[in-house]
Structure 1
Amino acid sequence: MHLPRVPRSKHEEKSAACARMIRCTTCSRSCGGLRCSVQEHPRHSGTTWPSSSTSPAVNWQQPRHLLNQPHAAAVSESLEQESSGAAGAAAANLLDSLVNYERSGIPPAAGTAGSSRFDLGRMHRLLAALGNPHMGLKAVHVAGSKGKGSTVTLLAHILAAAGYRTGVYTSPHLLALEERIAVAHPGAVSRRPRPLPPDDLAFLIDRHGGAIRSTVAAEGGALSHFEVLTALAFRYFADCSVDVAVLETGLGGATDATNVVPGANLQAAVITALGMEHVEALGGSLRSIAAAKAGILRPGRPLVLGRQLYAEAEEVVLTEAEAKACSPVVRAQSLVSVRSHGIEIQLDRCGQIARERLSLELLSEPDLYGTSFGTMTNRSSGGSSRYLEATVGLVGAHQHDNVATAVAAVRVLQREGGWRLDDEAVVEGLREAQLPGRFQVVKLPGPEGPYVVLDGAHTAESAAALTASLRAAFPGPTTPLQTQPAGSGTDIGPVGHPVALVLAMADDKDHRGTVTALRAVQPRVAVFTSVPIAGSYHRAAAPGTLAGHWQAAAILAASAPSPASPSSSDVSPTTPQHRQYRPFRCRELVQASLAAAFDKARQELRGVRASLGLAPGVGSPGVILVTGSLHAVAAAYKIPELQPLLQMGP
């Protein structure tokens, strides 16, 4: 065995060599070169590393982690720590120097088709500087207003469970930027997609920083943080030799930085539910929003369309699909039907986790070939269906549509692209898929420790879905582990546990609609606060603004017709409107930080128990609901009391 020779004549050569010593994602040991973390490791394949023509001349006689000398290991670790910190700082400096619309806000109409604000020409020139990594990449592209992140997660886990090396690109991140870029390695202990290691991101930027800086300068500084990160994701996926990448659009679709995959490589375009989100940035109307999302369609390529809430939006997408001769055009509900058997709160080694048992009916396929446009609207009348039983960690009635959309995409990939995706992979993928901040449930220790629900709901629709999920998961006044089928008709009335609401939102969201939907929870206390949005309070909604909308919604509810009056006979006791009309008492508080709001919410729940004279272990400990944005969830992750309970599984 020979120690690798580290050049000592020049400090720059030493630093370059150090930067190549990163960790293998399979065995978590140090070795040389980026390809260690993105290809099968020599330790597992019996091969040696290919040399890189762009790397400094270092004689790698033996992979570093196979060396047994204690001195060599100590030297390697020391050099690795030194280079990792320097490279990480350089990477952060480069990304921080770019314009960041997530922090500053998106200009009006920037995401509409034809907008010059987000110019795909710039993106193509940047990718060319990085070696055009996207040109050989097979991809599934997912756009939508709601559910696209969940659909990407579900589909990526199914592909990974089938043994495919799967790249995943999502946004925004919860805690760390590296979460946005993930790869599932078939030979790893766990086949779940794993976030990009920080050292790998630092190495990517160190390796390609010159090309990035030159392109940014040539474009007059117009390239954004999101565009550069997206280009690096494509570069990483190409270096990993992924079989397929599942891409989530950042904003809209037509001019989004992810919308650069060649049409021939697009395995399917997927569009989830469309709604009034990012309205100004996408043209100001539902039709302009739908047109922007439909910009990901490619001529002759498949379209999988999730359930749509608005006929107008669906019409726009289908018209664009017809114009581009997309084939086949599949409505997800024509291929997959989902039925819930209830939400359960299960004890897990990381605290508590909400899971839902589902029955999936895989409906007999209509003829996907040789049919006229638009015939994929209804279930097939012939043939027989197949059934799958699955357990999912993404719970709630709104997730049923996302499950159906992901599984429908799987069926299209099977038939159109010849992908090997069997029922076992579907069941495993649905079971393994996790998405922090989407009805994430933990329980604080002790008999009086309340349940904590974290959810990034920030629209009226997602808040209503959150309310329904909360009611299904916590239905009874004293039986928090009861299971109740969602949508069974028995979920009338408020949640059966005292709830303390903690709310923080961005300033460009629908505050009125969101708080109106959340009032159906009928919390005992509502605590309003603010959190940084993308590292800054520039886009954070003021707590007083949220409190004002809450009070206005209460006044409107009080002045609405009573369900018992003859004039309101059209309002059924089982409708959400009835719950909003029902009067309830709620303390309204404002706190300076989410941590302070959380502490206040817990104090209020203790007060509720004391007022009822409940002994420890008797009755419900209550529920603290943290919602309003994923940024609020991220702030909750930093609360010391919650940190050990919120660690992600392996």
Structure 2
Amino acid sequence: MSIDLTLDRVRLLASHLPQFKRLTCHIAGTNGKGSVSSILSSILHSVFTVGRYNSPHLVSIYDCITINNKPISPATYAAARKEVEEANDRFDTKASSFELLTLTALLIFERAKLDVVVIEVGLGGRLDATNIIPDDAILVSALASVDLDHQAFLGSTVEAIAKEKAGIARKDKPFVMGVQKHAGVEQVVRSTVSDVGGDFISGQAVQTRPWDESIDGPESRTFSLSAEPFKKPPAQPISFNIPVYLSDILALFPLHGRHQLDNLGLALSVVSTILTHPSCRKAIAFHIRCEFTMDTIARGIASTSWPGRLSFHTIGPGAVSSHFQQITRPLHTLVDGAHNPASSAALGSYVSDLVSLATRSQAADSQTQAVIRLTYVLSLSDSPPKTPKETLTPLFDIKHPAGSSLQLNVAVLRFTPPEGMPWVKSVSPALLRDTICAVAPGVEVWCAGDDEDPRSGSLVRALAWAAGRGEGNDVQELVIVAGSLYLVADFYRLLGAGTTV
């Protein structure tokens, strides 16, 4: 089975189901659209009842459909899915698994009579199943960062991909574009939005600010990758201006990485648009809009959670999951779904920041040289024309301060094939090993067997191998699980509850 991008099947099937009428924020993009949807739904939940649909799911199918930021119950999912599948069989629409899932989510949200729904595009935009949402239901459309990915389906250039993603724009409705790194994206998006009669809006940037203890509380000034108990880096103090308020919104943003500031800027620009754009003001009653205050927005920002995107966990002795009994000492892990060159570059940049922060903290506490050991645990999807070399190279461009020592190790393996997506296949561990040896000579590599079933315990063995690199007296250490959200999902299934440290 392959991906057949068309709206014919899903439109036909939707016509035999209850009409979807919930006010919707529709989010497209190559990187960051999931983060934007998570941030936005957290902010909106301070005032509204909110549904959110993301793809792919992380641990189970239920976590991609949330109501008020909580996964739906298996019973709720099963009842809606049964209704969608029965209609699919009755009218022989031959809908794909993603189309069935999308209509299941929309049916759940409609039946719950939610105030607002946040929908993440699955692939592209113009021909994505989520783009059947009626024009009247669209509140705001938004576009996160666009980059090369899925070229076989969306086009061979960033501009072509941007045009497909901007295809979610709607007549007389605002379309908010976030920060873009490719200069050609804005012109294409402006033109596409204009062609359908939409209202193009450039998103505003979030500003970082110094920590203010009168606003943010006491600041933790020490950070060590080897601290027991481990403390993740502090939240980022930010400010943002929304024209309806006399002063800036001040908040602590818990997601890590400089790229997440761009995602926050887009989410807040959508909120600003909801509060100021004529079509949104018409759709949402004045007294409800008045419930948005600087405090409720700041609390929504601070309560954002988005597992699997620069998320910290500690495994080993004392961990909740029995799967990690083979790991004989605490192992601090950073888990991220970076899966293409752009997201890998963002991860590499963040790891460089962590190394610098850990080095500075150790230098302030002692006169010893900082020794940092990083161990990547990696798996990649086979997705030509994207190559393993393009995705992996940014992970090894780690900057570290003079006077510090950096040790790199890598474990490579396959991820568990996602259910209902037979076209998703992992790159062979042998090819990953050979690629790493070419781009980072001298790095020690642990390699699972090419034919090894990932459900046989290869991820646990890779993590145990990372722990076996040895502690060392003054070594600060971090294990980074990355390369695919499907590998991240394997990690969370082992972790069990999946609660961020």
Q: Which runs of 5 or more structure 1 residues have no equivalent in the other structure?
A: 1-103, 107-116, 185-192, 366-383, 484-493, 556-584
The 3 A distance-change label for structure 1 pair 480 and 176 is farther
Q: How far apart, CA to CA, are the structure 2 residues paired with 1:207 and 1:148?
A: 29
Match of 2:295 in 1: 424
Separation of aligned partners in 2, 1:502 and 1:537: 23
Counterpart residue number, 1:554? 440
Q: Secondary structure at the match of 1:250?
A: coil
The separation in 2 between residues aligned to 1:245 and 1:413, in whole angstroms, is: 13
> Which secondary structure does the structure 2 equivalent of 1:467 belong to?
helix
> Tell me, what secondary structure is at the counterpart of 1:237?
helix
Match of 1:359 in 2: 238
C-alpha spacing 1:537/1:140, structure 2 compared with 1 (3 Å): closer
Does residue 1:518 correspond to 2:395, yes or no?
A: yes
Q: How far off its partner does 1:244 sit?
A: 1.1
Structure label with greater radius of gyration: 1
What is the CA–CA distance in structure 2 between the aligned matches of 1:167 and 1:495, rounded to whole Å? 46
Q: Which residue of 1 aligns with 2:412?
A: 528
CA 1:213–1:423: 2 relative to 1, 3 Å: same
Aligned residue runs from structure 1 range 272-311, under 5 A:
272-311=144-183
Count of residue correspondences: 450
> Per-residue deviation at 1:340?
7.5
C-alpha distance in 2 between matches for 1:622 and 1:465: 20
**Contact persistence 1:306–1:401 (CA under 8 A):** yes
Summarize the Cα distance change of 1:450–1:283 in structure 2 as closer, same or farther, 3 Å threshold: same
**Residues 256-281 of structure 1: CA distance to partner in whole angstroms, max 9, x if unpaired?**
11112222321111001100011111
Q: How big is the alpha-carbon RMSD for the aligned residues of Structure 1 and Structure 2? A: 3.1
Alpha-carbon distance in structure 1 between the residues aligned to 2:232 and 2:15: 44
SS at match of 1:433: coil
- CA gap 1:629/1:354 in 2 versus in 1, 3 angstroms: farther
Q: Which residue of 2 aligns with 1:391?
A: 252
Partner residue of 2:207?
Answer: 337
Kept in 1: contact 2:408–2:444 (CA 8 A) = yes
Deviation at 1:169, TM superposition (A): 0.9
Give a deviation string over 1:151-187, Cα, whole Å, max 9, x none: 001001111012x111111100011111111111xxx
**Equivalent of 1:497 in 353, 356, 372:** 372
Change (3 A) 1:253 1:155: same
Whole-angstrom distance in 2 between the partners of 1:120 and 1:481: 56
Q: Is the 8 A contact 1:254 1:294 kept in 2?
A: yes
Pairing of 1:372-521 with structure 2 (within 5 A):
386-416=247-277, 417-418=280-281, 420=289, 421-444=292-315, 448-476=329-357, 497-508=372-383, 509-521=386-398
Structure 2 CA distance for aligned equivalents of residues 338 and 410 of structure 1: 19
The CA distance in 2 between the partners of 1:401 and 1:548, in whole Å, is: 34
* Cα distance between partner residues in 1 of 2:26 and 2:41: 11
1:589 maps onto 2:431 in alignment? no
Report Cα offsets for 1:300-322 as digits up to 9, x if no partner: 21011100111112211011122
Change (3 A) 1:409 1:340: farther
From 172, 181, 190, the equivalent of 2:56 is: 172
Separation in 2, partners of 1:482, 1:385: 43
1:455 shift after superposition: 0.5
| 1:206 alignment partner AA | K
Q: How much has 1:201 moved relative to structure 2?
A: 1.1
Contact 1:504 / 1:632 at 8 angstroms: preserved in 2? Answer: yes
| Cα distance in 1, alignment partners of residues 308 and 128 from structure 2 | 24
Unaligned runs of 5+ in 2: 212-218, 318-327, 399-405
Describe the shift of the 1:352–1:137 C-alpha distance in structure 2 as closer, same or farther (beyond 3 A).
same
Taking a change above 3 Å as real, the CA distance of residues 198 and 482 of structure 1, as seen in their structure-2 partners, is farther
What is the percentage of aligned positions where both structures have the same residue? 24
What is the CA distance between 1:105 and its match in structure 2? 4.9
Partners of 1:340 and 1:225 in 2: CA distance: 47
- Residues of 2 paired with 1:481 and 1:318: CA distance? 48
Asked if 2 retains the 8 angstrom alpha-carbon contact of 1:354 and 1:439, the reply is no
1:577-616 aligned within 5 A: 585-592=442-449, 593=454, 595-609=457-471, 612=472, 614=473
**1:563 is matched with which residue?**
none
Distance change >3 Å, CA 500–CA 246, structure 1 → 2: same
Once the two structures are superposed, the pairs formed by residues 83-94 of structure 1 within 5 Å of their partners are: none
**Contact residue 357 and residue 389 of structure 1 kept, 8 A:** no
Give the distance between the partners of 1:235 and 1:476, measured in 2 at CA: 47
Which protein, 1 or 2, shows the higher relative CO under an 8 Å CA cutoff with sep ≥ 6? Answer: 2
Of 183, 195, 201, the residue aligned with 2:67 is 183
The one-letter code matched in structure 1 to 2:295 is E
Instruction: Say yes or no: does 1:213 pair with 2:86.
Output: no
In structure 2, distance between residues paired with 1:638 and 1:207: 29
The whole-number CA distance in structure 2 between the counterparts of 1:296 and 1:537 is 25
- Give the whole-Å Cα distance in 1 for the aligned partners of 2:82 and 2:179: 43
Write the letter of the residue equivalent to 2:112. C
Output the CA distance in 2 between the equivalents of 1:605 and 1:478. 21
Give the aligned partner of residue 199 of structure 1.
75
Whether 2:32 is the aligned partner of 1:147: answer yes
1:647 corresponds to: 499
Displacement after TM superposition at 1:523 (Å): 4.8
- The answer to whether the Cα contact below 8 Å between 2:224 and 2:476 also exists between their aligned partners in 1 is no
Matches of 2:129 and 2:424 in 1, distance apart? Answer: 24
- Cα 1:273/1:207, change in 2 over 3 Å: closer
Q: Counterpart of 1:596 in structure 2: which amino acid?
A: S
Question: Residue 541 of structure 1 aligns with which residue?
Answer: 427
Deviation at 1:210, TM superposition (A): 2.6
- 1:304–1:330 CA contact under 8 A, matched in 2: yes
Q: CA separation in 2, counterparts of 1:481 and 1:434?
A: 29
Residues 129, 151 of structure 1: CA spacing in aligned structure 2 closer, same or farther, 3 A cutoff?
Answer: same
1:232 aligns with 2:94: no
Letter in 2 for 1:624: V
Counterpart-to-counterpart distance in 2, 1:549 and 1:352? 34
Structure 2 residue 494 is the aligned partner of structure 1 residue 636: no
Distance 1:473 1:242 in 2: 40
Q: Which residue of 2 aligns with 1:626?
A: 481
Match of 2:16 in 1: 129
* 3-state DSSP of counterpart to 2:153: coil
Q: Determine the C-alpha separation between the residues in 1 that align with 2:37 and 2:53.
A: 8
Q: How much does 1:131 deviate? A: 2.1
Please tell me the residue identity of whatever aligns with 1:587: E
Q: Assess if the C-alpha contact under 8 Å between 1:276 and 1:286 holds in 2.
A: yes
Alpha-carbon shift at residue 436 of structure 1 (Å): 1.1
TM-score by length of 1: 0.64
1:473 CA displacement: 3.3
The residue identity in structure 2 corresponding to 1:453 is L
